[in-house]
Structure 1
Amino acid sequence: MKTLKSIFRFYIHGSIHVALASVSLVQITLMKYGISSAYMFLFFSFFGSVTAYNFVKYSNASKLYHKRLTKSMKGIRVLTILSSLLFTYLAFKFSIEILLYMIPLIALTVLYIVPVFPNKKNLRNVAGVKIFIIGLIWAGTTVMIPVVFAKGSFNLDFWIEMVQRFLFIIVMMLPFEIRDLQYDEATLETVPQKIGITRTKVFGSILLVVFLLLTATKGGLLPSVEILSTILVTTISLLFLWGTEKKQSEYYCSFWVESVPIMWLGIVILLQNLFG
């Protein structure tokens, strides 16, 4: 049992789980463009996510994730180094266009933790922008980059998808903001710090309603799979958002909330099999 717990903790704290969540969103985007098996690109996205998240979490700029992790830090470092090497290797397998579109996203990730702004601030410590930067990075990596890979066009449906993914990620971040109330400095001006926990949940609910309604603005006759999966993931997200408390179990956010994108992919696959 102790070994299983250690493996699970490594799975969570090594960012393997959140990387799978990211890859799930990438796969959902690819499936909307008719690409069902792009394993090399999914591995590329996975290793990039592990590298980026561990870079952010375990840099000197972050103070929240070092507690109780000293024994596993060596393994996490090895995982991060291997992931970064594999990510770099796979990057050369794709077109220069994909890499060019990734440059701004990588730059945002670096600026998120590297103090280059006045008063030695990074983007994470700029008041009120943290979750919006994360939302922008995730929308870019899970919608824009896959669309470039699929050789899709940046039409109206693409921009609607970008906005939807941005809103979805913002809502997924709110439980983390509520959890981190006890850690975050007041100068961060996070959403719960500014408006309180209950209003944060109301704010997230409004964003989810907009996320859902935007589906109806897409052109053409939408597949029933997309409509039903969007309704279901909106419902699941609402339940997790309203189930969030300031004091919560250790893995409520880092496992269950981060599982929502994986659930979303599972729902899409299940519905596709049901509706052919």
Structure 2
Amino acid sequence: MLDSTLTGLELAGLAGWDNSKVSRYEHGKQTPTEQDIHTWCALTNAPLHVADLIATVRNVEAAWLEWKRIQSHNAQKKTAKVETESKLIRGYDPDLIPGLLQTREYATEVLRECIQFVGGPDDLTAAVAVRIERQQVLRKGMRRFHFLIAEQALYTTVGSDEIMVSQLEHLAAQVRSSRVALGIIPRTARFRAPVTNFLMYDVRQVQVETVSAELTITQPREVALYERAFQILMKQAAKGEAAREMIQIAVAARPT
């Protein structure tokens, strides 16, 4: 309403709402219905904002998921469903190897630490099994995958040196995969975008993990920002044999 000449009281009057309704919406004390969004935008001459606002409202209750649910095997199954429905899956991680590229031992250690950190349900075995099962999506259908990781992810110790060497060798094998594109952002790369870990499913949904929750983003203009960030990171990434060489250097740095 900032670009409109209407006051809150005038908007409420035109919409047939009680006088406090506009204020409750503006201060986030009440979630607007989709019909109210259409009404608001029509009266303030802002029809182009309807799609973004409705996407936001639909996502309010679903956006934040507790880590306790994220790491449970039921949540893993929900993620698997999104992956199955997607044709292009892209992601970036600054510290860890992406879940779809993890070995069983690496995944076990990651999930164990997460469960212990938040005190989630003790379903480690089931969660690991589903994560490994999810990896079948790499070999089925016509999907394409593009993962970017920061060089730090090659050195973050998960479990033990033995687990890390096995994981890095598995990662190196993916460099020559015809279905998976892998890029590694050198640690000396210039700062170009304020990003944390995220996964993009086609151009319709982005998942971002924080310390306490997972944020699911569907608002078109926000998804576009992650698309832009991915394109920036992709230009900075080492690919092909250059990426493979970086992985081999990380392997050689591990005690034998």
Say whether the fold is shared (TM-score over 0.5).
no
Asked which structure has the greater CA Rg, the reply is: 2
TM-score scaled by structure 1? 0.27
In terms of fraction of residues, the more helix-rich structure is: 1
In terms of fraction of residues, the more strand-rich structure is: 2
